[in-house]
Amino acid sequence: MPLFKKKKDEIEQRRETFNQKYATAINLLHLLIYDKKSGEILYSYSSPGLKLTSYLTNSILQSLDMYANMPLEFQEIHLQDDLSLTLTDGEITRAALISKNLPSIQMQKQTLRFIDYFEQTFKNKIPEAIKNIDSVHVSRIIDFNFADQFIEDCFEKSLLFPHLAQRPADNVFLSSEENTLHKLAYTINENSGPFLLGRLLSKAQMETKITELPHLTEIVFKLREKGALKPIKPREADKLKDEIMREKVRKLKKAKKN
């Protein structure tokens, strides 16, 4: 294979990997972990702004009963509203994954990684929690904040958080393409405050020469790694947007007086 084509293929593969990671973060809606033996729920996570409906909860419980004594590896179940439920086993737990689309190979790998992290950390505590389920609430055994960090490590759900553009450290260099996207992010910040990455990507496709989504996604990941794009929690983002709006109103009133 010619060196140029090999290099091009490597770049495309790397960019597609970043694109898949972003797609997985969007695709993951809910993730629940159950003890395989008892069926007790140990942990649940929902994407920002989403809540488990009674329909989804009942669908999971019915599916767990249906496959109670069967070993599972990404068993796919189609739900209403074009949602997918996927069940897969770890050593002592069973994961129930609700997503917009069927999990990709990348998403399956990330799910297995989460299960592995979860079991390595809590497997010595889980049996005791289940044994004393009436007297010891599972949340006292399972550190939910710690488990939420596993979600971030495996699925990078902060990709769906509002973001702020900020100046990177003095010793951090931004490439020309990174600088272009960073300036665009700053403009969005100044006009309306924290923004979702989807907005930045769409705006970049319209206003820059970089139009391919996998390429733009790769740049976004690099800016995050370099500290030039910072995810913030939705509540904090709402406060910042309110401050920006109040400041605009204040300036407008001042301009009218003058």
Phi-psi region of 63 (alpha: psi -120 to 50; beta: other; left: phi over 0): alpha
Work out the percent of the chain whose per-residue pLDDT is above 90.
64
Cα 27 to Cα 191: distance, rounded to the nearest angstrom: 29
pLDDT computed for residue 242 by the predictor? 81
- Domains of the chain in start order, with CATH, are 8-159 (3.30.450.70), 161-257 (no CATH)
Residues 6+ apart with CB under 8 A from 159: 21, 22, 25, 26, 197, 231
Residues 6+ apart with CB under 8 A from 226: 168, 172, 174, 178
Give me 46's structure tokens: 């929902």
pLDDT-derived band of residue 234, with 50, 70 and 90 as boundaries?
confident
pLDDT computed for residue 254 by the predictor? 73
| Mean pLDDT value across the chain | 88
**Average pLDDT in the 19-28 region?**
94
* pTM of this structure: 0.83
pLDDT computed for residue 19 by the predictor? 92
pLDDT over 90 at 9, yes or no:
no
Tell me the pLDDT tens digit for each residue of 182-219. 999 999 988 888 999 999 999 999 999 999 999 999 99
pLDDT computed for residue 136 by the predictor? 46
Closest CA to 37 of 109, 113, 129: 129
